[in-house]
Amino acid sequence: MQVLDCDILVVGSGLAGLVAALRLGRKSRVILATKRAPDESNTAYAQGGIACVMDPEDSLEEHVRDTLGAGVGLCRETVVRAILAEGAARVRELEQLGVRFERRTGRAEEYDLGQEGGHSRRRVLHAGDMTGREIIRVLVDQAERHPNIEIRPDLMAIDLVTTGWLKQPGPNRCLGAYLLDRSNGEVLAVRADHTVLATGGAGKVYLYTSNPDIATGDGLAMAWRAGLPILNLEFVQFHPTCLYHPEAKSFLISEAVRGEGGVLVNAAGESFMEKYDARGSLAPRDIVARAIDNEMKTRGDRCVYLDITHRSTRFLRHRFPNIFTTCLKFDIHMARMPIPVVPAAHYFCGGVEAGVDGHTRLPGLYACGEVACTGLHGANRLASNSLLEALVTSHVTAEAILDQPASGRAPRCEIPAWQSGAAVPSDEGIVVEHNWNEVRTAMWDYVGIVRTDRRLERAMRRIRNLRREIRQYYLDTLITPDILELRNIADVAELVVRSAQQRRESRGLHYTLDYPETDLSRPAAETRLQDPPGGAVSERLD
Ligand code: SIN
């Protein structure tokens, strides 16, 4: 088995992974492993933008207040302040690297700031409706030309390697990871002093999601299997408005469309959000998604509609070029007819417990971006705060790693060759396909926008059975990317259900008919899951 050595292993090539790699590359040798092409990440699909105080009329206090308000008592305020305060400096660095955010026509010194739900004012920097693409374009280009960064596409992390698993004396520590090379099916190991998980989210755990196919919770599942605490996983954000069309794959219709005056209407053409919240169509996402769910269920409709027909074709084409052309591809002219929309899984507010500086409970392992739970989002993420979090925390993480004394380096350990045992090539692809659909359907049907104890129990029974079957299949067959992703979504699915079962109240994104009120009788508490290390690596090595 090939073993690659480097100072830092970064897993994931979204905003968090790329910023961390670029910063670390100044002084260290970095391997950046990404399971597909370097420009394929959740970030690349981000439409809305980066929430940041750039307008002289705006203030940090107002941004903090909006973030805490959306988070319903579960944000860590010191974390909120630390991340939001760093935003402007990090955004300026992105601009220096070449990222172009939209400026106001005729007033180049002023940003054209977007409005999104839960923000008390316009605060979202954007590049049309393809903000993520613009950021990734610049960062990938920088990373590809960097002498200290080796980008390894098609390299999918399987599991972390720790001294604990290798039965080394002393405190447990991360040593790197086993990875599967998709191009030739071989397993290799990367041995690193520090490993940064920047693997993004897990939208694919649900049948309908705004996320691309890569979002299978790989980092979350690996960290959990390595025994790390996972926080707040019940808080899954459903984006209220994804395009309802059989071939559109839940394409996102940015909240910025509502920010520019788009109004949600039902099939009868009635604006309904006012019944649910005084802020109407721009209420925070949890409220809007639940209202849409209720409207669809009570009326028996398959979707609701987003009406922005009062805006001109010219305006819409310029402000939302990607949304405009995508809708047109499906014969929807958004200046002339309302857009059919439904909610879909969008963002995991919980994740691997991590500090603003990325540190986790496992020395040598850091987490930043969506895979991490720093405490910024609490029970519901404020729109466009996620790119900001990824940008700031990856920078701070890199600085913290570079500040480590030499004694913080990993001990020199032999990494044993990957054991395939008696595994044979997968000849039952149908098992993977079937279980993939079953996990995601169970999550959509029973662990969605509105939950109940019985629905969660049903989901748990099914997912536990599926996980047993998947584990056996994983051990019996030679691993493939599909098997690894299936195993990861099944692990994450169970963690979401377990977290949801622990929360006996409704708060933010977690809404259950059995406990419809928010429990105000005690201080709000985070949900914490931690299990002894287990799973793949140890099973393969023992
Ligand atoms: C959107 O453009 O509506 C998504 C922005 C976000 O998820 O923060």
Q: Which atom of ligand 1 is nearest to the CA of 49?
A: 5
Q: Compute, in angstroms, the gap from residue 117 CA to the centroid of ligand 1.
A: 9
Domain closes at, from 324, 343, 362: 343
The residue to which tokens 């090379």 are assigned: 181
Residue 413 is assigned to a structural domain of this protein: no
> How many domains is the chain partitioned into structurally?
2
User: Domain check: are 192 and 80 in the same one?
Assistant: yes
CA of 69 to the centre of ligand 1 (A): 17
Instruction: Report the separation in Å between the CA atom of 211 and the middle of ligand 1, taken as the mean of its atom positions.
Output: 11
Burial 95-119 (b: 16+ CB within 10 A, else e): eeeebebbeeeeeeeebbbbbbbbb
526, 431: one domain: yes
Q: What is the pLDDT of residue 537?
A: 55
Q: Mark whether 273 and 398 lie in a shared domain.
A: no
CA of 462 to the centre of ligand 1 (A): 32
Q: Is residue 334 part of a domain?
A: yes
Terminal C-alpha separation, the chain: 17
Nearest CA to ligand 1 atom 8: 384
User: What are the tokens at 190?
Assistant: 């990367």
**Nearest atom, ligand 1, residue 385 CA:** 8
Mean pLDDT in each 10-residue stretch from start to end of the chain (542 residues)? 97 98 98 98 97 97 97 98 98 98 90 95 97 98 98 97 92 96 96 98 97 98 97 98 95 97 97 96 93 95 97 98 98 98 98 98 98 98 97 98 89 90 83 95 96 98 96 91 97 98 98 97 96 66 46
Domain limits at 331? 241-343
Does 165 lie in the same domain as 65?
yes
Which secondary-structure segment (H or E) carries 339? strand 339-348
Query: Which entry of 90, 152, 285, 290 is annotated as an active-site residue?
Result: 285
Identify whether residues 366 and 503 lie together within a single domain.
Answer: yes
- Of ligand 1's atoms, which has the minimum distance to the CA of residue 347? 7
H or E segment at 160? strand 155-162
Mutate to test the pocket of ligand 1, among 209, 254, 319, 509 (most ligand atoms within 8 A of CB): 254
Question: Are residues 46 and 174 located together in one domain of the fold?
Answer: yes
**Paired strand residues for 245:** none
- Asked if residue 293 and residue 202 are part of one domain, the reply reads no
Residue 494 is predicted with a pLDDT of: 98
The answer as to whether 142 is a domain residue is yes
Position 411 in a domain? no
| 257 lies in some domain | yes
How much distance in Å is there from the Cα of 387 to the middle of ligand 1? 9
- Is 319 annotated as catalytic? no
48 CA: nearest ligand 1 atom: 2
Choose one of 323, 343, 363: the last residue of a domain. Answer: 343
pLDDT at 90: 98
The CATH code of the domain that includes 332 is 3.90.700.10
CA distance 184 to 182: 6
Domain end: 343, 358, 383, which one? 343
Cβ 495 vs Cβ 529: under 8 Å: yes
How far is residue 365 CA from its own chain's centroid? 18
What does each C-alpha distance from 185 to 12, 105, 298 come to in angstroms? 19, 51, 49
53 close to 84: Cβ distance less than 8 angstroms: yes
> Residue 434 phi/psi, 5° resolution?
-65, -50
The answer to whether residues 227 and 264 belong to one domain is no
Going from the Cα of 205 to the center of ligand 1, the distance in angstroms, rounded, reads 19
129 CA: nearest ligand 1 atom: 2
- Compute the distance from residue 243 Cα to the ligand 1 centre, in Å: 14
Q: How many residues does the chain have?
A: 542
- Radius of gyration over every alpha carbon of the chain, rounded to an integer in angstroms: 22
Please indicate, yes or no, if residue 388 is contained in any of the structural domains: yes
Q: How far is the CA of 257 from the centre of ligand 1 (A)?
A: 10
Q: What is the pLDDT of residue 542?
A: 43
Q: Are 208 and 240 in contact (CB under 8 A)?
A: no
Q: Is residue 398 part of a domain?
A: yes
Residue 182 structure tokens: 């998709």
Judge if 127 and 263 occupy the same domain: no
Model pLDDT, residue 460: 98
Ligand 1 pocket check: which of 113, 238, 346, 388 to mutate, most ligand atoms within 8 Å of Cβ?
346
The CATH code of the domain that includes 537 is 3.50.50.60
Considering only CA atoms, which residue is closest to atom 5 of ligand 1? Answer: 48
Residues 154 and 274 in one domain: no
Q: Which atom of ligand 1 is nearest to the CA of 47?
A: 2
Q: Which of 113, 209, 210, 255 to mutate to test the pocket of ligand 1 (most atoms within 8 A of CB)?
A: 255
CB count in 10 Å sphere of residue 190:
25
Ligand 1 surroundings by CB, under 6 angstroms: 47-48, 254-256, 347, 383-384, 386
Say what the pTM is: 0.96
Residues 213 and 251 placed together within one structural domain of the fold: no
Rounded to 10 degrees, the C-alpha dihedral 210/255/394/29 comes to 50
Residue 328, in any domain of the structure: yes
Among the listed residues 204, 149, 129, 168, the one whose alpha carbon sits nearest the alpha carbon of residue 31: 149
Nearest CA to ligand 1 atom 4: 48
* Residues 305 and 395 occupy one common structural domain: no
Pocket mutation for ligand 1, best pick of 52, 252, 348, 376 (most atoms within 8 Å of C-beta): 252
